[in-house]
Structure 1
């Protein structure tokens, strides 16, 4: 196990009707003028936005609001949010929505005190030195942004999707009411579940040895998703299934399952170009890319993939031919994704094989390499895209 520092200061308020505590929590963390940032009309139609406003009113917290966050959140709305916060004297941002809304909120939070373009931080490694505090009321279990310091947004010019990470972007608090996820369509539930599993796999496939504790934590989250996702799709109002998925989403990405080990994140980087170009759901893109990445890299550490096959998917270990076990596990993963309604190839996603050159070029690797588990060249990435394009069961 590698040396590590783990810092996860977010306070989680979990359970039924916890959204009524939004005002109390903003006040606790020093907010006096809030930007309520939310997505499309669902927060309005469901009455959630009114509930949050009533909670802020009861705590004597002033607020302004900005809706319109889209999946794969856009820089154009973020610029509007930064200007609005500056003009209104906002000192706290409250995100009401899913990961896209939270990521947009984080971008606004770092942009308000910065004397420059917020985009300077995305995909550059530039250190965030100051940001407004953030709180969240989560409505989708998927991205894990409610407990992480990460933010991923899209620059409309050039369709560039990039990320930034900083502990200063970790929410001060996150309100998690599983009931708020019960109205999600089956497809959105499945996309979220795929994203959660991908966050775990990005950490699970590591070159660090002797990390049994986090191996087992990763496997526990994956087994939970395998059990609960079909239940939530078949029974949308199943509170216990929704609750387990919601907490799994947080645990999968606040890095408790990733400490002390090297991580990869190639699959996310490769997928980002798909969702930036085609505006597909991030989880759906991951469903196409991650098994393809696995097929390309599994020989790098066959026994780790075989371990995944046995411990997560219940495959029989073939010690004489461990490659067969590893490939069986990958096939089980792809089959599971298909069973919950996810696409498994380019055609089902709405992507085009003829765009692979464009996708690779947009990653900006050139003659370099990227990744943690296996360092990939541009040619390697093109091969992964081709595997994904033509995948089947």
Structure 2
């Protein structure tokens, strides 16, 4: 294995009714919170009332900041920064999915550097401090509750980028799988595939290719995500399914599944960020489309073959067995109702060259363009659109 550093300062509480520990744990963090959430789902499923109750028990004053949407916007972040400054907020409480937590992270560091906030995403600068963040996830997927990453869309340029900083690890995370019981089947699938992709992209692009403990961890995570995603979709109140899906999603991007793997490339994520930045497509859906296309284009990738063997239990001996691996993966996508082309999703064909340019720009910012050319991007996008390479 390669040398690595691993840092994870988040304290996690997992299981039923763990929110009861909130009043004790929040003591000393602050007395006034900016409570960030989405567009009403936490009110409908009762999580809003539960959080409100523990805030009251903890004697925490709070300002509600709702309305965060999927593929969260920079304009909403700037609005939140303004409120946090005016109200002299002590910490940020995020209740919702990854978009809510990512917005909370951006606000937390933006309070100290409002004018530089987008520079953090363009990798031109880095945060030097942030308000404490507490996460209460209500969907399994992004893993933002257990990592130092925030993804935001610039509404003006339609560019979707990520920021990494040790300052934005949540201080506390409360993972109650019952909070995900009401997540609809399609969003359960989107979240599960997002989590799967976080592991899969490391697995198929890593510098260290030998068998090792970290590889075994990645294999276990991918197998569990594939297993429990289907169970949770078709039996939404199955606690074991929701619990395993939630924990696997949290672990997928916490740093452990890449430990000792050396360099890796989030090529598929870069292409998908282009889609969800421009069209507001569900992130997990876009990832499924791009991943399936990537498999078709890069079917000779030796680490993809290793994925087929170790995760899908298909011995790769020839071209036929590779096609069998792709077919088994296709069947999983079909089970999750994620088997689409960009054409199926009615994205304009005339936008393809624009998307290719935009995706390559993201690859450049992420310093991935050294291994992928614009032609590589083009092959995957055209395959994602037509189901085959450029006609």
For the criterion TM > 0.5, the same-fold answer is: yes
Quote the residue 2:80 is aligned against.
Answer: 81
Shift of 1:348: 2.9
For the pair 1:292 / 2:293, whether they are aligned, the reply is yes
Task: Find the partner of 2:385 among 361, 377, 389.
Answer: 389
Quote the residue 1:232 is aligned against.
Answer: 232
Q: 1:351-377: CA deviations, max 9, x gaps?
A: 233211111222353996976598111
Q: 1:318-353: CA deviations, max 9, x gaps?
A: 1xx2x4434432332232112211142112333233
Q: Which 10-residue stretch deviates more, 373-382 or 212-221?
A: 373-382
Q: Is the 8 A contact 1:267 1:289 kept in 2?
A: yes
How far apart, in 1, do the equivalents of 2:5 and 2:287 lie?
28
Q: Is the 8 A contact 1:149 1:167 kept in 2?
A: yes
Q: 1:79-111: CA deviations, max 9, x gaps?
A: 111010001110100100010000000110110
How far apart, in 2, do the equivalents of 1:148 and 1:288 lie?
25
Q: Is the 8 A contact 1:287 1:334 kept in 2?
A: no
For the pair 1:55 / 2:54, whether they are aligned, the reply is yes
5+ residue gaps, structure 2 = none
Structure 1 residues 70 and 190 mapped into 2: Cα distance closer, same or farther (>3 Å)?
same
Q: 1:164-187: CA deviations, max 9, x gaps?
A: 001111101111110111101100
Quote the residue 2:112 is aligned against.
Answer: 113
Quote the residue 1:215 is aligned against.
Answer: 215
Q: Is the 8 A contact 2:143 2:195 kept in 1?
A: yes
Shift of 1:382: 1.2
5+ residue gaps, structure 1 = none
Q: Which 10-residue stretch deviates more, 349-358 or 381-390?
A: 349-358
Shift of 1:22: 2.9
Q: Which 10-residue stretch deviates more, 14-23 or 147-156?
A: 14-23
Q: Which 10-residue stretch deviates more, 213-222 or 45-54?
A: 45-54
Quote the residue 1:183 is aligned against.
Answer: 182
TM-score by length of 1: 0.93
* 3-state SS of paired residue (2:4): coil
How far apart, in 1, do the equivalents of 2:82 and 2:366 lie?
35
Quote the residue 1:101 is aligned against.
Answer: 100
* 3-state SS of paired residue (1:85): helix
Q: Is the 8 A contact 1:24 1:56 kept in 2?
A: no
Q: Which 10-residue stretch deviates more, 211-220 or 66-75?
A: 211-220
* 3-state SS of paired residue (2:258): coil
Q: Report how many aligned residue pairs link the two structures.
A: 386
Q: Is the 8 A contact 1:266 1:371 kept in 2?
A: no
Q: Is the 8 A contact 2:341 2:387 kept in 1?
A: yes
Q: Which 10-residue stretch deviates more, 164-173 or 368-377?
A: 368-377
Structure 1 residues 368 and 11 mapped into 2: Cα distance closer, same or farther (>3 Å)?
closer
* 3-state SS of paired residue (2:331): helix
RMSD between aligned residues: 2.0
Matches within 5 A, 1:305-324: 305-318=304-317, 321=318, 323-324=319-320
For the pair 1:164 / 2:174, whether they are aligned, the reply is no
Quote the residue 1:35 is aligned against.
Answer: 34
* 3-state SS of paired residue (1:116): helix
For the pair 1:250 / 2:250, whether they are aligned, the reply is yes
* 3-state SS of paired residue (2:295): helix
